[in-house]
């Protein structure tokens, strides 16, 4: 039975308890930031920031101040897993959590490029990629120990709920109906996307407004065979690693480059 | 209130209520987990309340060898039921923090730097200063009324002190004749 | 707070005004969200800025900083005109029926008795009519022209929606919608609404009257003393309720007993008790509380023969203002030579910081006790913008422990006193506060050893023996009180005596220990028999473990709950029962004289719609000291009873056209010492920014992220601009008016630094409390570089 986090933006008031709780539980360092025109900070995920709250000011159709916790969605169709040449990314059977084994990670950044949500983040210092493991790994395995993920525990308003995915989906639909009765048009994002996100949302604006693609794609499609081929070569020691983005014709630069710089900056100038 | 890991897990999971009147602090062998042992497994859990706003959220401090290894919301506390905001979640970084002052510091008149001093030295010096200023500015009587007033000294602070410290501070300052007694509540 | 945090869940409507709980009391939103979800509670957010609280509101009302009384006054007028108030409650549980003396009047912004020279009132005409036997004259029909109700109606008839809209910047329609929403709930006995406020309310030259206006509205709507109702001050600091209770303030002693002044009325103990003890209400017990406190202070040296050492207590100079502003004005003039800054960062949190900085330079010595090196500790350093060589102050910086490095109790905003335990030792040579305070006093006393001067006896004879290191439990026991003969704890303030047989440091805390010496603040039974979020055995609430004060008003005259939905305490035929400790004698029959007086702390026994305050018995709108417009309600521009200081320079709108308001962010704490030194928090908000509305920014060519200078007549700071539609342009008296929002957390020390907002704020305070006017002063803004 997959475990899920339901993120209900209609209940989030942007206190960012979850953002710090994640750092606290996972011993992630503070990074050097600067004001970049909004409350939002750090302005991107990094190997030291696995979750953050996005702040959005919406003016169309009346002023709104929107908040969305951004984090790994633990997708059923997880591109990161599919493109990893080192088999360093695995799924926990019991929970559905998608986890990077940093001991196995070779730092090729394929997953960084492939993720439709720009979640995995490369650390230059560690030479590996890091992201949220749903508090389901090693001595940080809260959910394996009957606890909730650290972010969920910290949430005051029920904007984050942890539980069995099927039950949460029902709860989410009930909440959507409840909101509809109050005149708010809301919907579930992540029920079917990528065959189902394990961390999914109740949204009350178009997903793009919240910075989520309306149709996230499993980016493995075009070159899946290449990744497999690379895996085989890697597995037989014929090739150390083929960066996936060499094959994949991305219109964007790999998302992590900026984060990369930030990370290297921050490791020198971290504020702790 | 101090609890070991197993009790804590039980408290967290169960809706049962507890009545306690003292720090517990007993040791029971660690909880057996199907999953990996948590980083807090050998830690002692102590309950406190948040030091920031006045909602007074319950916080559990997990410590080991006199070091704080984790802090989190206390699920038993009715005010917050385990929830914490960004500040409450960050309280752990008060310890192991290089910004903390760990020695008494003294700055002489006109000096450009601090000097490190012993508590004994500083406390005695302060006591002398208090006596000098009090004796110079003390008013014993005014219009035939005993007023026992020291206007040359002021005491400002603090709403982050415990009730017990606040009380002793008031008791001491009033006895010394201070009337310039103020703190955060005024501003 | 009249109510408490967990009681929020019982509310059907929250009027959030002068506060921003989503950001400054984030976890309280847990209970607001619960009420929204389960009760369909409405949330109304009234604020000059659209905040994170506004984001979750059903109704957002933009209101100009400093216009609460115009706004609430219009609502009062509306509910009176449209009969949307709780008539039975108002007639019986408030002083609306009381008749006021004929001499009372109000004209063009001034009440009767004003002395322009002294900037104060002779309040003798603001009094009740009395029967020959001393009883209050009343008219329960509320129709008598001299009744409080009719005077109230007349006073607020001037507060029509249009005028309120012109003054506040809120639209007529929105104000009406708020009034309708509140009124609808008032007429439904199954519902209650709550007012939540904080420093946005109090930090004005008329802050006390702002709070009064909320309280009056809540009395009219019948919301005080009931679950889900109340007037709820969301206090800022973890123990600011406790530190206020303990009277770290010049004008009171622990437990809200008056601190004596040098006047014949306070010459002796007898005089003090005569002056401070009213004829009726619970304060008739003042002698028991006060004498017990003197016993706690001076122990065996206090006995009947020496007036319980009353003369040892310091007396204030009559008429002198020793408040924060007053202290720094005195210091500016060189009258104060030594300062203890104990856990407070004056160089960030004081108004008019440049002037305070000048004042600090006059000190001979300064003692700072803090876990971090604060701006206050470093006021003499180059980074503070001064030449250290020119400052002759000796500075002692004493390293202290943080909360979980020491034991003791904090009192939350809902008056619940929770014990907290020590987890780890403080680092290095940092020490627990009790140790530091004890050492300071012992060594000061040592300095006086051998003296036989009368003047030194208060120090030498102070009852101060807490061993080598004081145990917080022992101090707590003294605060609670004990029998001076047996040493046993006193289990409730009803048992305190004025004959020296009891000692109690703070009577309102009496009862936190049981007779068997159990410290009830350590109690951790979180069961909720009411199902309404009442936790009678979780810690201990003052007074007498009461969770909602004035709770008699939750029941009607016969002692029955107004509605089963809001049943809280009720008369069962022989005694009061229910979910909370009743707010008076448990066997006082509801239809007896005393049984109809729910407001036991008041001599009148009822809630006061008409009450004496420095500037009048009814709140009247005046403009902030610095204002962009003329007062539309009278020719009196600003509070006529406000004290003007030497440092009260006043900026004009021609030079400083924008209304500024300081505020706090979720991610930082007060002066920043406890958050700007925390890496995870410094990361979230690393720099000072100021919030500027889109329209003003366009006029000034300012974009988000640009560096700007904000200036007032007192100084200037630099900051990054946050251009946002959340700060709306308002139409004030026909003129487009802009706000600038300034987080005040920053200073020149810590991991992240920035300009202090309080460099801009004025040296002027509330007419009753002298709380500075941090909200609603004037600034200018320009883009830099």
Angle of the C433-448 helix axis to the B119-137 helix axis, nearest 10: 50
Q: Which of C613, C600, C593 is nearest to C136 (CA)?
A: C593
Give the pLDDT confidence score for residue C785 in this predicted structure: 76
Residue where the block lists tokens 């004060």: C549
The first and second tokens of residue C77, run together, are: 């007028």
Q: Measured between CA atoms, how close is A213 to chain B, in angstroms?
A: 28
* C-alpha closest to that of C632 among C167, C204, C210, C213: C167
Query: C360 to chain B: nearest residue by CA?
Result: B154
Contact C741, C690 (CB under 8 A): yes
Q: Residue C705 is nearest to which of A16, A37, A158, comparing CB atoms?
A: A37
The set of residues, in sequence order, having a beta carbon less than 8 Å from that of C239 and lying 6+ positions away, is B54, B159, B160, B161, B162, B163, B166, C410, C411
For residue C593, what pLDDT is reported? 84
Q: What is d(CA C488, CA C480) in angstroms, rounded to the nearest whole number?
A: 11
Residue C449 has, within 13 A of its CA and on its CB side, a CA count of 9
Beta bridge partners of C489: C482
Residues of B in contact with C424 (CB under 8 A): 61, 63, 66-68, 95
| Average pLDDT value for residue range A209-213 | 97
Find which of A157, A160, A202 to mutate to test the C interface (most C CBs within 10 Å of its CB). A157
Residue B148: pLDDT above 80? Answer: yes
**A35, C27: Cβ pair inside 8 Å?**
no
Closest Cα of chain B to C262: distance in Å?
A: 6
Q: Say if CB C730 and CB C169 are below 8 A apart.
A: yes
Segment 114-153 of chain A within 8 Å of chain B by CB? 137-147, 150, 153
How far apart CA C291 and CA C502 sit, in angstroms, is: 8
Q: How far apart are CA C597 and CA C391, in angstroms?
A: 58
Confidence of residue B21 (pLDDT cuts 50, 70, 90): very low
Among chain B residues, the shortest Cα distance to C461 is held by: B175
Burial of A7 (0-12, 13-18, 19+ CB in 10 A): buried
Structure tokens at C231: 């007037």
Distance from CA of A167 to the nearest CA of B (A): 19
Q: Is B93 in Cβ contact with A156 (below 8 Å)?
A: no
- Please check whether residue A136 is in contact with residue A95, taking contact to mean a CB–CB distance below 8 angstroms: yes
Q: Do C29 and A17 touch (CB under 8 A)?
A: no
Pick from A20, A63, A271: which is nearest to C50 by CB?
A63
Q: Give B148's contacts in chain C (Cβ within 8 Å).
A: 311-315, 455, 458
Which of these, A73, A157, A49, A176, lies nearest to C52 by C-alpha position? A157
Angle between the C269-276 and C286-298 helix axes, to the nearest 10 degrees?
Answer: 140
What span, in angstroms and rounded, lies between the C-alpha atoms of C609 and C73?
13
Option in C248, C313, C678 nearest B166 (CB):
C248
d(CA C477, CA C488): 9
Give the percent of chain C with pLDDT over 90: 98
Say what the pLDDT of residue C712 is.
98
CB of C741 closer than 8 Å to CB of C661: yes
pLDDT at B18: 36
Angle between helices C161-168 and C68-81 (to 10 degrees): 160
Q: Kindly state whether B174 is in contact with chain C, defined as any CB-CB distance less than 8 angstroms.
A: yes
CA C416 to each of CA C65, C352, C733: distance values in angstroms, whole numbers, following the listed order? 31, 34, 45
* pLDDT at residue A247 tops 60: no
With bands split at pLDDT 50, 70 and 90, how would you rate the model's confidence at A1? confident
C711 close to C354: Cβ distance less than 8 angstroms: no
Q: Is the peptide bond before C543 cis (omega within 30 degrees of 0)?
A: yes
CA gap A233, A239 in Å, rounded: 5
Write out residues 20-49 of B within 8 Å (CB-CB) of C: 20-23, 44, 46-49
Inform me whether the pLDDT recorded for C707 exceeds 70: yes
Query: Tokens 């029902």, residue?
Result: A170
Average pLDDT, chain C: 97
Average pLDDT, stretch C324-334?
A: 98
Chain B residues 40-79 within an 8 A CB cutoff of chain A: 41, 70-73, 75
Whether the per-residue pLDDT at C317 is higher than 80: the answer is yes
Is the Cβ–Cβ distance between A157 and A8 less than 8 Å? no
Residues of chain C contacting A271 with CB distance shorter than 8 Å: 679, 682-683, 751-752
pLDDT of amino acid A219: 78
Most C CBs within 10 Å: which of A55, A63, A176, as the mutation test of the C interface?
Answer: A63
Closest partner CB to C667 (pick from A16, A57, A178): A16
Q: Which of C33, C679, C726 sits opposite A65 (nearest CB)?
A: C726
A65/C685 CB distance under 8 A: no
- Section C157-186 average pLDDT: 98
pLDDT of residue B4: 55
pLDDT value of position A222:
55
CB contact under 8 A, B159 and C249: no
Q: CA C227 to CA C225: how far, in whole Å? A: 7
Reduce the DSSP state of residue C681 to 3 states and report it: helix
In a mutational test of the B interface, the residue from A11, A17, A93 whose CB has the highest number of chain B CBs within 10 Å is A17
User: How far is it, in rounded angstroms, from Cα B52 to Cα B50?
Assistant: 6
Q: Say whether residue B85 is in contact with chain A using an 8 A CB cutoff.
A: yes
A-B interface: how many C-beta pairs under 8 angstroms? 77
Three-point CA angle C587, C589, C594, nearest 5°: 100
DSSP per position, C490-544: P--GGG--SSSSEE-S-GGGTTSB-TT--BGGG-B----TTSSS--TTBSEETTT
Chains in touch with B (3+ beta-carbon pairs under 8 Å) read A, C
Alpha-carbon span C169 to C60, nearest angstrom: 13
Using a CB-CB cut-off of 8 Å, the residues of chain B touching A152 are none
Q: Is the dihedral of CA C710, C20, A150, A211 positive or negative?
A: negative
- A142: closest CA of chain B, how far (Å): 7
Q: Are C662 and C200 in contact (CB under 8 A)?
A: no
**A48 in contact with C at a CB cutoff of 8 Å?**
no
Q: How far apart are CA C261 and CA C64, in angstroms?
A: 39
Per-residue pLDDT, A233: 58
pLDDT at C643 over 90: yes
C242 touches chain B (CB under 8 A): yes
d(CA C493, CA C539): 18
Omega before residue C510 within 30° of 0, cis: no
Minimal C-alpha gap between A110 and chain C (Å): 29
Q: Which of B31, B36, B75 sits opposite A139 (nearest CB)?
A: B36
Contacts of B74 in chain A (CB under 8 A): none
Interface of B with C in 144-173 (CB under 8 A): 144-173
The answer to whether B89 contacts A139, with C-beta atoms less than 8 Å apart, is no
Based on the number of CB atoms within 10 Å of its own CB, is A100 exposed (0-12), middle (13-18) or buried (19 or more)?
Answer: buried
Which of C6, C349, C423 shows the shortest C-beta gap to B68? C423
> What is the DSSP code (8-state) at residue C128?
B
d(CA C297, CA C291): 10
pLDDT band at A226 (very low <50, low <70, confident <90, very high): low
* HEC assignment per residue over C594-661: HHHCCCCCCCCCCECCCCCCCCCCCCCCCECCCCCCCCCCCCCCECCCCCCCCCCCCCCCCCCCEEEE
Mutate to test the interface with B, among C30, C343, C533 (most CBs of B within 10 A): C343
Which structure tokens are listed for C674? 């406890």
Cβ burial A191-218 (10 Å sphere, 16+ → b, else e):
eebbebbbbbbbbbbebeebebeeebeb
Residue pair C12/C41 in contact by the 8 Å Cβ criterion: yes
pLDDT tens digit sequence for C739-768: 999 999 999 999 999 999 999 999 999 999
pLDDT average, residue stretch C97-125: 97
Distances in whole angstroms, Cα of residue C564 to Cα of each of C39, C191, C230: 15, 10, 18
Cβ-defined contact of A140 to B33 (cutoff 8 Å): no
Pairwise CB contact (< 8 Å): B103 & C428: yes
> What b-and-e string marks burial along A240-266, b requiring 16 or more CB atoms within 10 Å of the CB?
eebbbbebbeeeeebbbeebbebbeeb
Q: Is beta strand C739-743 parallel, antiparallel or unpaired with respect to C658-663?
A: parallel
A156 near B CB under 8 A: yes
State the Cα–Cα distance between residues B69 and B82, nearest whole angstrom: 18
- Nearest Cα neighbor of A4 from A232, A154, A180, A168 is A168
Q: DSSP letter at A74?
A: -
- Tell me, what's the pLDDT at B3? 60
Residue C754 to residue C744: CA distance in whole angstroms: 10
Q: CA of C26: which chain A residue's CA is closest?
A: A15
Residues 265-294 of C with CB under 8 A from B: 266-267
Question: What pLDDT was estimated at residue B17?
Answer: 34
Instruction: Report, as an integer, the average pLDDT of C237-266.
Output: 97
In angstroms, the CA C741 to CA C25 distance is 19
Q: Note whether B166 and C254 are within 8 A (CB).
A: no
Distance of alpha carbon C231 from alpha carbon C189, whole angstroms: 18
State the pLDDT at residue A60. Answer: 87
Nearest CA in chain B to A159: B83
pLDDT > 90? residue B26: no
- What lies within 8 Å, CB to CB, of C168 at 6+ separation is C63, C64, C67, C70, C71, C175
Chain B residues inside the 8 Å CB shell of A143: 35
| Over residues B153-164, mean pLDDT | 97
Write down the ipTM of this complex. Answer: 0.97
Q: Which candidate, C538, C542, C422, places its Cα nearest to that of C471?
A: C422
Q: Is C458 helix (H, G, I), strand (E, B) or coil?
A: helix
| Predicted confidence (pLDDT) per residue in C564-618, tens digit | 999 999 999 999 999 999 988 899 999 898 899 999 999 999 999 999 999 999 9
Task: Residue C443: list chain B partners with CB under 8 A.
Answer: 123-124, 126-127
Cβ contacts of residue A178 below 8 Å, gap of 6+?
Answer: C37
Backbone angles phi, psi at A171, to 5 degrees: -55, -40
Closest chain B residue by Cα to residue C457: B175
Host H or E run for residue C779: strand C775-783
Chain A residue with minimum CA distance to B71: A24
What integer best gives the mean pLDDT of chain A?
86
Q: Which of A19, A24, A144 sits opposite B70 (nearest CB)?
A: A24
**CB contact (8 A) between residue C339 and residue B155:** yes
Q: Which residues of A touch C23 (CB under 8 A)?
A: 13, 15
Strand-pairing partners, residue C416, are: C541
């Amino acid at each position: 039975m997959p475990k899920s986090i339901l993120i209900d933006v209609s209940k989030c008031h942007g206190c960012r308890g979850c953002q710090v709780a994640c750092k606290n539980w996972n011993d992630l360092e503070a990074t050097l930031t600067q004001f970049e025109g909004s409350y939002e900070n750090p302005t991107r995920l990094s190997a030291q920031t696995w979750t953050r709250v996005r702040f959005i000011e919406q003016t169309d159709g009346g002023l709104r101040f929107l908040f969305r916790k951004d984090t790994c969605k633990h997708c059923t169709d997880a591109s990161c897993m599919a493109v990893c040449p080192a088999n360093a990314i695995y799924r926990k059977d019991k929970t559905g959590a998608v986890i990077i084994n940093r001991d196995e990670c070779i730092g090729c950044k394929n997953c960084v490029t492939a993720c439709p949500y720009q979640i995995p983040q490369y650390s230059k210092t560690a030479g590996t990629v890091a992201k949220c493991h749903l508090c389901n790994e090693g001595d940080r395995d809260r959910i394996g120990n009957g606890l909730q993920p650290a972010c969920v525990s910290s949430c005051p308003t029920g904007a984050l709920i942890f539980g069995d995915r099927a039950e949460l989906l029902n709860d989410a639909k009930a909440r959507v109906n409840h909101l509809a009765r109050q005149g708010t048009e809301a919907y579930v994002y992540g029920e079917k996307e990528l065959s189902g996100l394990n961390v999914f949302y109740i949204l009350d604006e178009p997903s793009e407004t919240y910075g989520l693609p309306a149709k996230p794609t499993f980016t493995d499609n075009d070159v899946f065979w290449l990744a497999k081929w690379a895996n085989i070569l890697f597995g037989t020691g014929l090739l150390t690693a083929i960066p996936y983005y060499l094959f994949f014709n991305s219109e964007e630069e790999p998302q992590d480059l900026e984060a990369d710089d930030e990370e290297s900056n921050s490791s020198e100038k971290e504020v702790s | 209130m101090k609890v070991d890991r197993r009790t804590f897990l039980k408290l967290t999971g169960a809706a049962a209520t507890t009545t306690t009147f003292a720090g517990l602090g007993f040791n029971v062998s660690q909880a057996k987990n199907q999953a990996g042992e948590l980083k807090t497994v050998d830690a002692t859990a102590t309950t406190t309340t948040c030091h920031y706003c006045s909602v007074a959220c319950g916080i559990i401090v997990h410590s080991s060898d006199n070091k704080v290894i984790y802090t989190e919301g206390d699920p038993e506390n009715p005010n917050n039921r385990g929830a914490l905001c960004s500040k409450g979640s960050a309280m752990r970084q008060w310890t192991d923090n290089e910004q903390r002052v760990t020695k008494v510091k003294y700055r002489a008149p006109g000096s450009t730097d601090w000097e490190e001093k012993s508590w004994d030295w500083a406390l005695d010096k302060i006591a002398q200063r208090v006596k000098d200023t009090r004796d110079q500015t003390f008013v014993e009587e005014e219009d035939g009324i005993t007023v026992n007033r020291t206007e040359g000294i002021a005491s400002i602070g603090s709403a982050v002190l415990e009730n017990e410290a606040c009380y002793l501070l008031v008791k001491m300052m009033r006895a010394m004749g201070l009337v310039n007694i103020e703190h955060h509540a005024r501003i | 707070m009249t109510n408490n945090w967990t009681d929020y869940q019982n509310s059907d409507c929250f009027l959030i005004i002068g506060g921003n709980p989503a950001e400054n009391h984030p976890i309280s939103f847990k209970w607001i969200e619960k009420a929204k979800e389960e009760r369909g509670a409405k949330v109304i957010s009234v604020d000059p800025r659209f905040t994170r609280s506004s984001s979750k509101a059903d109704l957002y009302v933009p209101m100009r900083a400093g216009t609460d009384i115009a706004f609430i006054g219009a609502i009062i007028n509306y509910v009176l005109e449209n009969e949307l108030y709780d008539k039975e409650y108002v007639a019986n549980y408030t002083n609306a029926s009381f008749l006021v003396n004929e001499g009372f009047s109000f004209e063009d912004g001034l009440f009767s008795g004003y002395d322009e020279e002294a900037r104060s009132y002779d309040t003798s005409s603001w009094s009740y009519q009395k029967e020959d036997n001393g009883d209050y004259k009343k008219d329960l029909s509320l129709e008598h022209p001299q009744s409080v109700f009719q005077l109230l109606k007349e006073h607020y008839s001037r507060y029509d929606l249009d005028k309120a809209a012109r003054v506040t910047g809120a639209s007529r329609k929105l104000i009406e919608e708020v009034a309708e929403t509140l009124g609808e709930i008032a007429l439904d006995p199954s519902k209650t609404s709550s007012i939540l406020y904080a420093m946005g309310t109090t930090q004005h030259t008329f802050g006390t009257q702002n709070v009064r206006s909320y309280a009056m509205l809540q009395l009219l709507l019948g919301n005080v003393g009931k679950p889900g109702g109340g007037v709820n001050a969301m206090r800022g600091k973890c123990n600011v309720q406790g530190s206020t209770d303990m009277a770290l303030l010049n004008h009171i002693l622990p437990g809200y007993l008056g601190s004596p002044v040098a006047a014949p009325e306070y010459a002796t103990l007898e005089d003090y008790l005569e002056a401070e003890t009213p004829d009726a209400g619970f304060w008739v017990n003042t002698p028991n509380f006060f004498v017990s406190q003197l016993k706690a202070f001076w122990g065996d040296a206090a006995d009947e023969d020496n007036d319980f050492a009353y003369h040892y207590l310091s007396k204030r100079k009559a008429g002198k203002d020793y408040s924060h502003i007053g202290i720094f004005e005195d210091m500016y003039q060189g009258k104060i030579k030594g300062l203890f800054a104990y856990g407070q960062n004056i160089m960030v949190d004081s108004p008019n910081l440049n002037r305070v900085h000048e004042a600090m330079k006059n000190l001979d010595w300064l003692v700072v006790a803090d876990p971090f090196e604060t701006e206050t500790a470093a006021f003499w350093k180059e980074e503070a913008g001064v030449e250290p060589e020119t400052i002759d102050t000796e500075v002692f910086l004493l390293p202290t422990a943080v909360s979980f490095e020491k034991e003791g109790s904090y009192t939350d905003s809902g008056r619940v006193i929770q014990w907290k335990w020590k987890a780890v030792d403080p680092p290095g040579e940092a020490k627990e506060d009790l140790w530091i305070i004890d050492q300071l006093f012992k060594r000061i006393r040592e300095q006086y050893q051998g003296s036989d001067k009368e003047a030194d006896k208060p120090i030498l004879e102070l009852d101060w023996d807490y061993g080598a290191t004081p145990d917080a439990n022992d101090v707590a026991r003294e605060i609670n009180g004990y029998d001076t003969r047996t040493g046993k704890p006193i289990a409730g303030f009803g048992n305190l005596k004025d004959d020296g047989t009891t000692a109690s440091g703070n009577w309102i805390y009496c009862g936190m220990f049981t007779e068997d010496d159990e410290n009830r603040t350590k109690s951790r039974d979180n069961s909720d028999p009411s199902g309404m979020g009442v936790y009678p055995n979780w810690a201990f609430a003052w007074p007498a473990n009461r969770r909602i004060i004035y709770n008699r008003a939750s029941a009607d005259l016969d002692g029955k709950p107004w509605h089963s939905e809001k049943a809280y305490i009720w008369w069962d035929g022989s005694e009061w029962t229910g979910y909370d400790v009743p707010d008076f004698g448990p066997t006082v029959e509801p239809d007896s004289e005393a049984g109809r007086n729910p407001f036991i702390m008041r001599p009148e026994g009822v809630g006061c719609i008409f009450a004496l305050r420095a500037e009048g018995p009814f709140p009247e709108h005046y403009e902030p000291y610095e204002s962009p417009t003329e007062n539309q309600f009278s020719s009196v521009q600003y509070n006529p009873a406000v004290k003007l200081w030497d440092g009260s320079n006043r900026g004009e709108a021609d030079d400083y056209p924008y209304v500024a308001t300081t505020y706090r962010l979720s991610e930082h704490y007060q002066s920043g010492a406890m958050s700007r030194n925390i890496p995870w928090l410094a990361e979230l908000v690393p720099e000072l920014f100021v919030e500027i509305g889109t329209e003003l920014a366009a006029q000034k060519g300012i974009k988000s992220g640009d560096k700007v200078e904000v200036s007032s007549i007192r100084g200037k700071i630099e900051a990054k601009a946050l251009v946002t539609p959340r700060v709306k342009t308002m139409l004030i008296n026909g003129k487009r008016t802009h706000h600038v929002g300034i987080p005040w957390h920053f200073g020149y020390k810590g991991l992240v630094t920035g300009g202090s907002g309080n460099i801009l704020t004025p040296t002027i305070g509330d007419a009753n409390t002298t709380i500075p006017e941090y909200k609603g002063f004037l600034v200018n803004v320009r883009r830099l570089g």
